[in-house]
Amino acid sequence: MYRFRSQFCFVALATAWIVLLAAHPRTSSARAQQPAGPRGAAATLTGVDVYERYPIEPFKGARVGLITNQTGVDSAGRRTIDVLAHRKDVNLVAIFSPEHGLAGREDTTVADSKDAATGLPVYSLYSGTRRPTDETLKGIDVLVFDVQDAGVRFYTYVTTMAYCMEAAASHHIRFFVFDRPNPLGGERIEGPILDAHRISFTGYFPMPVRHGMTMGELAQMFNAENQIGADLHVEAMIGWRRNESFDETGLKWIAPSPNLRSPGAAFLYPGLDILQAGGVSVGRGTGQPFEMLGAPWIRPDQFAAELGRRAIPGVSFVPAEFTPADGPYRGTLCHGVKITRLDPHALESMRLGIELADELHRLYPADFHLEKIVELLGSPSTVDRLEHGDPPADIVAGWAPDIEKFRAMREKYLLYH
C-alpha cells in the first residue's frame, strides 16, 4: 500500500497561511496539494517535519531502524536520529548509513561505527556489503529512509534506498520514506535512458540521468515497476512545488556528499561527472568541485573560446588553472575552464555534458577517452553517436522519444504538482 499525507491550505491574512493536514491513506496517483500563500523561509516542510507535527501511528512501540546521514535533519536543524531517539513512543534501535558515511565526509569505503550522541550502532551500507544483512535487521519492525538525494540517476543513495526496500520486503518490515525535494526541480527530465544491461550500484533502474523525481516518488516507482513488494509508506512534504529547485525552497543546503557543496554545483554535477572517466579532472579536491574542468593537456584559452562559441544555455566559461587534491591528476597542475551557472531554469545539465564531451573529443582525441564516459552515462548508443561526429543538439533531440515514454510511466507515481 502506498501512503502519504495530502495538505489543504487557506490564506488567513495577506502575510500568513495555515496548512491543514488530512492524515489518511491515499493511492499513488494522488497529489500532495501545495500551499497557496506566499513563499518564505519555511515554505517547504520535509517529511521529517511533517512527521514531527503529525506522528505516524505505526511507529508507536515499534523497533525502528533509520537509514540516514548528515542531511537527515528537520527545519530546526535537529537530526532525524535525535527526533526519533527522543520520542517515548518510538524505539530507535539501529542506524544505517549510505556512501560517504553518517557524517558525509568519507570518499572511500566506510566501516561500522557507533553514534556518539545516542550510543546506537551505525551499520555502513558502503562497506563489504551494500545492503542491510539478516543480522542487522533482526528484531526491526520499521525501516525509515531520510536522506537528501542529488536528483541524478547515478547518485548511489537511490540504489541504497532500493536495496533497503528489497531487504525490508524480504523480512516483512514496513518501509517509510521521509521525503525531501529533488534539488534540480521536478519538471525537467534529461539524458539517455540507462541501458538495461548496465544495471549496477550506480544505476538501479532504466531511467534518464535527470529524472525529476523525489525519493518518495522513486520509491513508489521502484516498488511497483520492479515488483519489490515492500509495505511502503511515503511521508510527503508540505509546500514543495515541482518547478522549484533547492535554492527556491527556503531549506538550508547541507552537502549530501563531500564534493557537492552548493545547489549551483548540483546542477552542473550530472553533466560534468560523466566526463571524469574519460580522463579529465572535474574539480574534485579543489574549492569548487563540479565547477571546474581540466587536464594537463588542455589549452585553456582555446578550450574556453570554443565552448563559448557553442552558446550552451545557462552557463559561461572562462579559462582556469587548478591543482586538484583528489581524483585524476591529483597534485598535478591542470588547465581548463571555470564553469558558472547563470540560470538554473535555462541550464540543460546533460546537454552541457554532451557538448563538453564533443569538444574534448574534437580538440584532444588522443588524450580524452570518449568511450569511457559510458560508465556513468549508461548509454552505448549515445557514445557511438558522439564518436561518429553527430551534432550534440541532434543527440539530445534523439533522447526525446524514450524520455516521453518515461515521463508517461512516472506520472502515476508523482506526489506533487
Position 345 scores a pLDDT of: 87
The grid coordinates of residue 392 equal 550534440
The three-class DSSP label of residue 99 is: coil
Same domain, 243 and 154: yes
pLDDT digits (tens, 9 = 90+) for 273-291: 999 999 999 999 999 999 9
Rounded-to-integer distance, Cα 345 and Cα 322, Å: 28
Confidence of residue 38 (pLDDT cuts 50, 70, 90): very low
Contact 254, 69 (CB under 8 A): no
The grid coordinates of residue 76 equal 530546526
- pLDDT of 318 > 50? The answer is yes
Task: Report the number of distinct structural domains present in the chain.
Answer: 2
Position 344 scores a pLDDT of: 85
Q: Which residues pair with 142 in a beta bridge?
A: 64, 174
Structural domain contains residue 398? no
Structural domain contains residue 238? yes
pTM (2 decimals)?
Answer: 0.91
Structural domain contains residue 388? no
Structural domain contains residue 341? yes
Contact 174, 58 (CB under 8 A): yes
pLDDT digits (tens, 9 = 90+) for 183-203: 999 999 999 999 999 999 999
DSSP state of 280: -
Taking residues 325-347, what's their average pLDDT?
Answer: 95
- pLDDT of 58 > 50? The answer is yes
For the chain, give the number of residues.
417
Taking residues 28-44, what's their average pLDDT?
Answer: 49
Same domain, 251 and 270: no
Instruction: Note down the domain range covering 369.
Output: 263-378
Same domain, 247 and 267: no
The grid coordinates of residue 138 equal 533482526
Average pLDDT of the residues of the chain: 91
Contact 339, 315 (CB under 8 A): yes
Residues 6+ apart with CB under 8 A from 183: 148, 149, 150, 151, 245, 246, 263, 266
Structural domain contains residue 243? yes
Position 43 scores a pLDDT of: 83
